[in-house]
Structure 1
Amino acid sequence: MSNLSRAEIRKDQVQDSIEAATHAAGQVSNIVITAVGDVVKAVGGFATDLFEIREAARKARTDMGVDNDDD
């Protein structure tokens, strides 16, 4: 086993710390990206629901002979 210098030990410590920080940042980025995608899907689904509700209400008014000018 060879003796490592203080400088080499510090270099290894810094390198390992940077690798750990990079890994953690990557994990956080993946979490955020997934969360943003999930939010976009939820908002898109909500918008689709609103369009379908509006269309159903319009059809119901038409079926009942009610004026549809308020859309």
Structure 2
Amino acid sequence: MDEETAYEGEVSVSWGELLKSMIRDPETRDSLLENLKNISLFVASSMIVAKYAEQISEPKLLMKLFFSE
């Protein structure tokens, strides 16, 4: 075993306690909320693109989207 994979003892993580401590810290909470918002926007936009992919790829529609006045 090398140094990076050697463990002296087991580490126990309580996910509930970890999340509680992260939520209590205002900076971490704001960062988590910002990340969740970004993930939600990405998922929503991906779903929209997937739903309308065939229509979006139509040349006439692309011309309207990119070259309309």
Structure label with greater radius of gyration? 1
Q: Which has the higher helix share?
A: 1
